Structures are given as C-alpha cells and as structure tokens.
A and B are shown apart, each in its own frame.
Chain A
Amino acid sequence: MNLKELITDKVIEKFGTALEEVSDFRDDICLTVSSDQIVAIGKFLKDDSDLQFITCKDITAIDWGTRKKRFTAVYHIYSFKLNCTLRIKANIDADPPAIETVTSVWRSADWYERETFDMYGIKFTNHPDLRRMYMPEGFEHHPLRKDFPVIGIPGSLPLPHQAE
C-alpha cells in the first residue's frame, strides 16, 4: 500500500465526503477538503498513530481573483514517521473570507495564520491573537490580493514628518 492510498483511505473512512479531491503530482500528495472540517481533519492526521503529521510547515492562501469561491487556504504538514509532506487545500465559502484556526492542532500555525491574514485578509476564527504580521498596524489593505496594485496605494502607508 503506498502513501497516497494509506492517507486517502484513512481520511475517507473517517470523514467520507468531506474529502473533496485527491491529487498526486510527482509524489506530491494534495487533499482538497471541505473548509468546515479543516480542524477535525487536521487533528485526525496529527493524532492517528499510522500517520503522525505532527509538524505544520506552512500555511498560505491562493487568491483566484474572479472565481466564485475566491480564496483557498493551503496547509503544508509533515510526518516524520512517513517522511512525507502533505498539502491540504480548503476552498473558502464565507464572504468576507473566514476559516477556523488550526492553532489548536498545531501551535506553529499561529504566526502562519497571522501572515496569511495580513496578506490575504482571511479571518481565522478563534485565533488567539490575529494581528498583522508584516504590514504596519492601521494598514487597511491586503497586499497579496489580486486587486491590490504591486506599487501600492499612494498615501496608504505613512512616511515620517520632514523637519525642514
């Protein structure tokens, strides 16, 4: 039994239709799951003794621009037992975009989710401290969204006063 089958069988057995899609590109396994099940699935993948995805390596998001479900949250988790990185995607229904935080599963998710919130404006509900990571406090935009201009919005970031 290869890794892909092991993981998908276990997740399907437990969650059924919450697993929407499985893709495998050059041994890069990716599960697309329903966004309201993300915490339960994460907890299962972490706690299951055969899988043990105990490390959350990264959390980011995709802005699809004009698509109906505009944002997709992307999680990269790693299992030392299987020596395998797994990608989990969750298409976000809510508008404004929001998804449950996974900090209860992986503590390291805290800052990754803050970064994703900063860059995409996705609200991670029940996050312990959802503040901006990189941009200054009081900044109103989310720079990695498709409708944000690369050069920025003039006057949105304050410069120091000039004395002379």
Chain B
Amino acid sequence: MGLEAKLTQDGFITTTIDAVVGWARKSSVWPMPMGISCCAIEMIAAADPKYDIARFGSEVMRFTPRQCDLMIVAGTVTFKMAQVVRRIYDQMPDPKWVIAMGACTSSGGMYRSYNVVQGIDQFLPVDVYTAGCPPRPENLLNALMTIQEKIGKTRARDFQNRSLKELELLQK
C-alpha cells in the first residue's frame, strides 16, 4: 500500500503539518562542504556513486552558505580558520545543523598544538561528532542519518520568529 496506489484512486492521506514539514526538511538537507583538509576527500567520496549521498537527499553540495542547511566541517580548524568557519556558519539561514567530521574537528585530534582549535564546539554548536581520522564515507552517512533523525523530530513552528543574533555580531 504505497503512496502511488493511493494516487491512482483520487485518494487522500491524513497527517500533521509537523510530520510533513519534518519529513521535507530531513529529506533535503543541503550540505555546506566546509572541506578544510583531508576529511574533505572522504566527504567527496561520500558524494560519489559508490556511497551516493543522494540517497539521503543531500547531494546538493552548495558552495554558498545562503542555500545550506547543514555544515559539514571536514578538517583541521586552526585559530585563523575558526574566524572564517564561524562567519560562514553565521551566513547560513535558520534552521541549520553542524557535523563535526573527524578527530581534528571534534577534539583537535593529533594536532595537540598551539595553532589548532581543540574541538570546534568551542565556537560552533555541534549536533553530531564523527569519529575517525579520517572517517570513512559510511561514517559520514551515519552522521547524516543521525542528523536526519534529529531534524525529523523538529516541529514546523520551531524556527519561527528567531531573532538574528548572528546579524548583531556581524554588524559589530
């Protein structure tokens, strides 16, 4: 009893706005590929036909933050780059989510050093951390599915009337 069968019979389905909006949101998560170092290669691999991130509706890697819902921070974030990452995150429209991909972004990884931020959660609200150095594409897809689960639970009205705190920061 699929959706198509219903359509041929002029049928209708009942659901809630929240369910439809949540389903739509989670099925078209457009990533912002913040590929800073080697994790980016695995992120690209996740988009290729073998792993095929398009199965999850996330094949549209947008290189402009204005069209993105999900930031995949893939790579070592230095203190200098942290400013850039945060600025790009601020430019993404709400609602938005963040994947910290790999050991470097999650905790600084092997770069226990003066120039690397020891975990991007010091300046970004991270939703999912991905283990690995670099994580395999399956692991990234798993992170994406976890995010989708989280997005599916959002309600339609969750992101209404949000004050743009980022805007104030940008104007400072």
Which residues in A have some Cβ–Cβ distance to B below 8 Å? 134-136, 143, 148-153, 157-164
Contacts and interface: CB of A to CB of B under 8 A. Distances in A.
A143 B114 contact: yes
Contacts of B82: 159-160
Given A148-B114, A152-B115, 12 more contacts: A150-B112, A151-B112, A151-B114, A157-B79, A159-B82, A159-B122, A160-B82, A160-B85, A160-B87, A161-B123, A163-B90, A163-B169
Contacts of B80: 135-136
What's the dominant secondary structure at chain B's contact region? Answer: helix
Contacts of B161: none
Contacts of B115: 134-135, 143, 152, 157
Interface residues of B, number: 21
B122 A161 contact: no
A163 to B, nearest CB: 4
A149 to B, nearest CB: 7
Nearest to A153: B114
Contact of A151 (B83, B113, B123): B113
A75 B115 CA distance: 26
Contacts, number: 47
A143 B116 CA distance: 13
A159 B79 contact: yes
Nearest to A158: B79
A110 B145 CA distance: 50
24 contacts: A135-B80, A135-B115, A143-B114, A148-B114, A149-B114, A150-B112, A150-B114, A151-B112, A151-B113, A151-B114, A152-B114, A152-B115, A153-B114, A157-B79, A157-B115, A159-B82, A159-B123, A160-B83, A161-B169, A161-B172, A162-B123, A162-B124, A162-B125, A163-B166
User: When A and B form their complex, which 3 residue pairs have the shortest distance between CB atoms, in order from nearest?
Assistant: A152-B114, A160-B86, A157-B79
B90 to A, nearest CB: 7
B98 interface: no
